[in-house]
């Protein structure tokens, strides 16, 4: 499929895609440390009320990705990856400026919606990866992209926390400048990876977010794995929903400390995804690596509900690391189940289902946090959301086990659950 590209062109495309998803994650993470202060300052509300508003803002972000992801994926199947990705990068820079200048809560919501539309560029990035890698190499490539997400989650919250000490709007000016530099770089170096003969007509029915679910029914073995991914994203959305509010309520963290803890979390994820994904897949196979990631997610989720110090939080992050395998491994398995000319559609469908899950999850967990912080709650605790999330992940892990036991997850890595794959 990539015969029309030279190896240097493929390398340039890969590097740029990794930079782009890195910056997307910077944009997502940069707001998290300053969100309590920004909402509190603009809206004049309490911490619990700010958490609820933050949950609705995160839901708006996910809603925008849900609506735009399938559209971008299908447009990229028709017109190519390059123009859509550059347009999304431009929009992200505009969004950062909008956040920096927002005069009230309403404009912050508008900014989160625009961020969601532009953040859906990861759909195109995933299609880029499918274009320039062979099927057997995609697990490793998606692991590298997961590492780029992790690095973005190091830089974004760290920058947001440190610059946030100067004011909650300052980080967005810096992010806008970085996006502009990336746009200029991409304009000159990014090649088109989708050959003309692999493009297909654009159909609105496939591009609308609900029509995108058709891809799950079209190809065998896709739907059960997408159910696992949806549940995984729903229950792990507790972290973006409440982390900065939880840190302030439990430990009195400043914006800088919130940013540093998130940076530490991103570093752990990047190390696991960037350096351990390949060896883990070679040793156990993609399916079993997903299960390992889900077990670590369960242990970490319950653990955060019981920790009483920053040292224990950091220790739990090490346990948390293998969770980073889950998304790239499921994506790699799914990408091998559809034809090459439908990769954009698949990634758009994955975007739709994961963003619906995050939309519902962020609102759900923000409401739980806000309720149990109210004076009239049966008891006050900032930890209840983690207990609920942990129970949900137990169910998700059991579903993944059942999928593999029934054989519906087979074929992606040439083995049943009892067989690792050695190289």
**Does some domain include residue 57?**
yes
Amino acid 195: pLDDT? 66
Domain count, the chain: 1
Quote the percentage of the chain above a pLDDT of 70: 87
* Cα gap 240→227, rounded to integer Å: 21
**Does some domain include residue 140?**
yes
Amino acid 213: pLDDT? 65
More confident: 307 or 63: 307
The per-residue pLDDT for range 160-189, each reduced to its tens digit, is 888 888 887 888 888 888 888 878 887 887
The per-residue pLDDT for range 7-24, each reduced to its tens digit, is 777 777 778 778 877 877
The per-residue pLDDT for range 246-289, each reduced to its tens digit, is 998 899 888 889 888 988 887 888 788 777 877 888 888 888 89
* Cα gap 378→318, rounded to integer Å: 33
* pLDDT bracket for residue 389 (50, 70, 90): very high
The per-residue pLDDT for range 197-225, each reduced to its tens digit, is 677 777 766 666 676 566 677 777 778 88
Cβ–Cβ contacts within 10 Å for residue 203, how many?
A: 13
* pLDDT bracket for residue 414 (50, 70, 90): very low
Average of per-residue pLDDT across 91-106: 83
* pLDDT bracket for residue 407 (50, 70, 90): low
CB burial string 143-166: b at 16+ within 10 A, e below: bbbbbbbbbbbbbbbbbbbbbbee
Q: What is the CATH number of the domain that holds 93?
A: 1.20.1250.20
Amino acid 420: pLDDT? 37
Residue 380 has pLDDT above 60, yes or no: yes
Cβ–Cβ contacts within 10 Å for residue 45, how many?
A: 16
More confident: 323 or 206: 323
* Cα gap 91→407, rounded to integer Å: 43
**Does some domain include residue 187?**
yes
* pLDDT bracket for residue 316 (50, 70, 90): very high
Query: What would you report as the CA-atom Rg of the chain, rounded to the nearest whole angstrom?
Result: 20
**Does some domain include residue 157?**
yes
Please name which of 394, 367, 404 lies closest in space to residue 300, comparing C-alpha atoms: 394
How many degrees, rounded to 5, is the angle at CA 367 between CA 365 and CA 370? 110
**Does some domain include residue 96?**
yes
**Does some domain include residue 210?**
no
Average of per-residue pLDDT across 45-52: 79
* Cα gap 261→155, rounded to integer Å: 11
* pLDDT bracket for residue 299 (50, 70, 90): very high
* Mean pLDDT (the chain, rounded): 80
Structural domain boundaries, residue 89:
7-193+215-406
**Does some domain include residue 254?**
yes
Average of per-residue pLDDT across 135-150: 74
- Residues composing the chain: 423
Token duo for residue 100: 């920096």
Q: Which contacts (CB < 8 Å, 24+ apart) does range 181-187 have? A: 182/19, 182/20, 182/23, 182/89, 183/86, 183/89, 183/90, 183/93, 185/16, 185/19, 186/16, 186/20, 186/85, 186/86, 186/89, 187/86
* pLDDT bracket for residue 49 (50, 70, 90): confident
Average of per-residue pLDDT across 79-91: 82
More confident: 333 or 373: 373
Residue 1 has pLDDT above 70, yes or no: no
Average of per-residue pLDDT across 359-382: 90
More confident: 281 or 303: 303
Amino acid 304: pLDDT? 95
**Does some domain include residue 360?**
yes
Average of per-residue pLDDT across 53-79: 78
Task: Indicate the range of 259-263, 375-379, 384-388, 409-413 predicted with least confidence.
Answer: 409-413
Amino acid 4: pLDDT? 57
* pLDDT bracket for residue 296 (50, 70, 90): very high
Residue 413 has pLDDT above 80, yes or no: no
């Amino acid at each position: 499929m990539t015969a029309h590209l030279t190896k240097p062109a493929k390398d340039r495309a890969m590097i740029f895609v990794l930079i782009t998803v890195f910056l997307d994650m910077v944009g997502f993470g940069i707001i998290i440390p300053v969100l309590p202060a920004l909402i509190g300052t603009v809206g004049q509300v309490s911490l619990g009320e700010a958490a609820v508003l933050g949950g609705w803002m995160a839901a708006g972000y996910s809603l925008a990705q849900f609506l735009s992801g399938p559209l971008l994926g299908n447009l990229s199947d028709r017109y190519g990856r390059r123009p859509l990705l550059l347009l999304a990068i431009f929009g992200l820079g505009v969004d950062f400026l909008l956040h920096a200048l927002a005069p009230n809560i309403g404009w912050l919501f508008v900014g989160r919606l625009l961020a969601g539309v532009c953040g859906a560029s990861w759909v195109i990035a995933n299609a880029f990866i499918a274009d320039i890698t062979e099927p057997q190499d995609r697990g490793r490539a998606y692991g590298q992209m997961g590492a780029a997400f992790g690095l973005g989650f190091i830089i974004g919250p760290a920058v947001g926390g440190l610059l946030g000490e100067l004011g909650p709007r300052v980080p967005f000016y810096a992010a806008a400048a970085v996006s502009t530099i990336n746009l200029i770089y991409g304009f000159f170096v990014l090649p088109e990876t989708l050959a003309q003969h692999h493009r297909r007509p654009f159909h609105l029915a496939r591009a609308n977010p609900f029509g995108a679910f058709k891809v799950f029914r079209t190809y065998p073995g896709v739907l059960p794995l997408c159910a696992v991914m949806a549940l995984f994203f729903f229950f792990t959305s507790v972290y973006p929903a409440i982390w900065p509010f939880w840190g302030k309520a439990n430990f009195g963290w400043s914006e800088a400390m919130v940013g540093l803890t998130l940076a530490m979390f991103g570093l752990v994820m990047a190390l696991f995804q960037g350096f351990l994904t390949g060896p883990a897949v070679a040793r156990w196979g993609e399916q079993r690596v997903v299960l390992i990631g889900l077990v670590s997610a369960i242990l970490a989720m319950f653990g955060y509900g019981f920790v009483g110090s920053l040292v224990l939080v950091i220790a739990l992050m090490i346990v948390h690391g293998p969770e980073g395998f889950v998304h790239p491994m499921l994506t790699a398995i799914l990408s091998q189940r559809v034809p090459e000319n439908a990769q954009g559609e698949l990634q758009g469908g994955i975007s739709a289902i994961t963003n619906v899950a995050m939309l519902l999850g962020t609102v759900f967990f923000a409401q739980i946090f806000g309720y149990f912080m109210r004076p009239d709650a049966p008891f006050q605790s900032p930890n209840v959301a983690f207990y609920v999330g942990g129970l949900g992940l137990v169910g998700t892990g059991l579903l993944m086990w059942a999928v593999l036991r029934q054989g519906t997850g087979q074929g992606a890595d040439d083995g049943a659950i009892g067989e690792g794959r050695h190289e």
